[in-house]
Structure formats: structure tokens, C-alpha cells
Amino acid sequence: MEFNYKLIRSRRRTVCLEIRNGELVVRAPILAPQKIIENFIKSKKDWISKRLVKSQKTFNRQYKQGEPFFYLGNEIPLRIIKTNLKHPEVQLESNQLVILTNDVTKRILREALIGFYKKQASQIILKIIKKHEGKFGMYGKVTVKDYKSKWGSCTARNNLSFSAKLAMAPRDVIEYVVLHELSHIKQKNHSKNFWSLVKSVDNRYNEKRKWLRANHHKLVL
């Protein structure tokens, strides 16, 4: 698991964490090695996850006409059309995110959007994995879930899971996250060897990490 965070180095003696406006902020000494910082974050993963989920609940989605949602890095307006359909359908139409539904309650609209983003993310992620097959070794199941505070994970058995919200990010950023998790098949840590492996398959990975850190608070369902 990797958290997106903002790192602030200063003349301090210890590493500390805070959640500010839905973002993880890490404060560290000027000369603190990156490995020590990453290990500290890892040791606090449960605390971070709980605080991030709590903070994201303060982002109050309205699910109203014209409300902007990200899709593949671009903001597009939500359009809700009342129909007699038994089950809601979500479509991309004329650069709009259209929901056809007979129930316009927030719960139903959110569930429909989660289903849409899961489907889109799954299709894109599977294509990326197929594109890079053979570079990392065998992987297990691939799933897409409604994660609140992480983009992806790779288990000890090499099962891969990803956030549905990835479909809100640009395609190259999605590819970085997939390559990041695929790299964990060979390196179950965030060591120098791990980042060297990531760089060998995506030499612009740092740029994409920065995009996620700068925009993750906007990618909300």
C-alpha cells in the first residue's frame, strides 16, 4: 500500500504526520533519509487510513445537475435524466457524465457512479497489465474496489487490487499506479531496488506521483 502525501522538510528532529484538508502531510528533518520516512508512514498505515476516511467524509458530494466529476483527468458535468429504467445506467455523452435513472436519491446515484468508474477502471487496468505481461512474473486475481484512501495494493500472493477512482485520473497516471503494483511482485517494499524497477518501466513515474499528490483530493465519488 502506498499513500499519497505532501513532504515538508524543516529544522526539526522527528517525523510527524497530519491530515490537512483531506491530504496526508509528512513533516521530517531536512536530512532524514527517504527510507526512514517511508518506513514511518508504513508503521502508521492504520492510523492514516482511518483519518483519511474520516476527513474525506467532510467532502459533501451533492450529486446534482452540473456537478463536476473527473474522468480520465478532465472535469465533466453530471447530467441526471429521469427515466423508467429499472436499474440506473451511466453513459458518457457529449462530454457529460449522464445518469439515466428512475430514482434520484444520493445513495442510488452514488452507487451507479461507483459501478461506472469500477467498470471503466477495470477495462483500462486490464489492458495495461496485458501490455506489460512478462515483465514482472505471475500475478493472481485483479480486482477494482471502492477504496477510500489508497490507489492499489499487491498481496503476498500477488493478487492485485485497485481503486475505482483511478478512472478519474489521466491514463498515464493510471498506468503508473498499475506498474507500481506490478513492481511489487518482484519487490515487496519501497526500497531503492523497487524504485529502480519502477523507473526501468516508467521513467516519468515521479511526475505522475506528483500529479496524484496534487489532485487526489479532487478524485472523490
Q: Check whether 141 has a pLDDT greater than 70.
A: yes
pLDDT-derived band of residue 144, with 50, 70 and 90 as boundaries?
very high
Domain ranges of the chain: 5-56, 68-119, 123-218
Count CB atoms within 10 A of the CB of residue 160: 21
- Provide the pLDDT for residue 1: 59
- Listed residue (6, 22, 2) closest to 220, CA to CA: 22
Which residues have CB under 8 Å from 130's CB, separation 6+? none
What percent of the chain has a predicted confidence (pLDDT) above 90? 67
Q: The domain 123-218 is classified under which CATH number: 3.20.20.150, 1.20.140.10, 3.30.2010.10, 2.160.10.10?
A: 3.30.2010.10
Residues 6+ apart with CB under 8 A from 191: 35
Q: Which cell numbers in the block locate residue 122?
A: 477495470
Cell of 49: 487510513
Of 143, 162, 160, 159, the residue nearest 151 (C-alpha): 162
What is the model's pTM? 0.76
C-alpha cell at 92: 458518457
pLDDT at 163: 95
What are the pLDDT digits (tens) for 53-111? Answer: 766 655 678 899 999 999 999 999 999 999 999 899 999 998 999 999 999 999 999 99
Instruction: Kindly state the DSSP code that residue 188 receives in the 8-state scheme.
Output: S
Asked if residue 168 lies in contact with residue 117, where contact means CB atoms within 8 angstroms, the answer is yes
In single-letter form, the type of residue at position 113 comes to: L
Helix (H, G, I), strand (E, B) or coil at 16: strand
